[in-house]
Amino acid sequence: MTAVLSISLDVNGERVETRVFPRTNLADFLREQLKLAGTHVGCEHGVCGACTVRVNGEIVRSCLMLAVQADGTSVETIEGLSDSGEISDLQNAFRERNALQCGFCTPAMLMAAQDLLKDEAEPDRARIREHLSGNYCRCTGYQAIVDAVEATARARKGRRP
C-alpha cells in the first residue's frame, strides 16, 4: 500500500478528478469510491464477467484493471448505459423474455450483449452463445438470454434503412 495517486477520467460522461491507491482495481473504485454499485464483483479473478464495464468503448473486466490504468479514459457502467437509453430495447427484451432471475450477472451480461450487437447486425445463436461465454449466469441456463439478444438483433436490423 503506497501513496495515493491522482487520476482524471470520464465516468458515464461526467468528469471525475480523484485520488486512488495504486492497488485499487477499477471495479472497487467504481463501487466503493464512486458508489456505482451496478458493476458487480463475482470472482475477482477475471472469470465470471460480472464486473464487465466499457473503457474507451471496449468491454473489460474491471476486476482485472487498476483504477490508475483508467486515468485519462472514458468509462461507461451499466448506470450510464441505462440512463443514455442506449440499451433500452435490449433491457425490454430481457424483461419480456425473463432473461434474468437474481439479476447479479445482468448488468454485465447486458454490457457484453450490447458489445456484440454494436459490431454484428445479425449474430446467430451460436455466435451469441460464444460471445457471452465470458459471462456466467447461474440462474437462467442462458437460453432466455440468447433469445433476448437474438430478438433485439432482429428488431434493430428491421429498424435499419
Partner 1 sequence: MSESFTKPQALSELDRPNSYIGKSVPRPNLDRLMQGRGLYVSDMELPRMVHVVFVRSPHAHARIMAIDSSAAKRMPGVVAVVTGRELSVVVTPWVGVLSHLKGLKSAPQHAIAIDRVCWQGEAVAAVLAESRAAAEDAAETVVVEYAELEAVTDMRTALDSATPVIHSSLGDNLAFERVLDAGEVDAAFAASDAIAQAEFVFGRHTGVTLEPRAVVADWNAAEARLTIYQGTQAPHMVQNIAALHLNLDESQVRVVCKDVGGSFGIKVHIYADEMATYALAKMLRRPVKFVADRIESFNTDIHARDHRCKGRIAVKRDGTITAFEIDDLTGIGPYSMYPRTSAIEANQVVNLVGGPYAAKNYRARARVVFQNKNVMCQYRAVGHPIACSVTEGLVDLAAAKIGMDPVEIRRRNLIADDAYPCASPSGLRFELLSHHASLNKLLAMMDYEGLRAEQARLRRNNIHRGIGIASFIEVTNPSAAFYGVGGAKISSQDGVAVRLDAQGAVVCQTSITEQGQGSESLTAQIVGSVLGVSMERVRVILGDTDQTPYGGGTWASRGAGIGGEAALQAAKILRKNILDVAAAILQSSPAELDIANNTIVNISDGTPRIELRELARIVYFRPDTLPPGLQPELMATRHFVPRQYPFAFTNGVQASWLEVDTDTGFVKLLRHWVVEDCGTIINPQLVDEQIRGGVVQGLGAALFEKCIYDERGQLTNANMADYLVPMPCEMPDIDIGHVVSPTAESELGAKGAGEAGTAGAAAAVANAVNDALKPFGAIITEIPLTPQLILTALRRI
Binding site for partner 1 (CB under 8 A): 1, 21, 23-24, 31, 36-45, 47-48, 50, 77-79, 82, 91, 94-98, 100-107, 110, 125-126, 128-130, 132-146
CA dist 103 and 115 (Å) reads 19
Which residues partner with 11 through β-bridges?
14, 75
Smallest separation (angstroms) from partner 1 to the CB of 100: 6
Smallest separation (angstroms) from partner 1 to the CB of 13: 16
Closer of 14 and 161 to partner 1 (Cβ)? 14
Closer of 15 and 45 to partner 1 (Cβ)? 45
Q: How far is CA 85 from CA 6, 34, 80, 91, 97, in A?
A: 31, 21, 9, 10, 19
Closer of 66 and 110 to partner 1 (Cβ)? 110
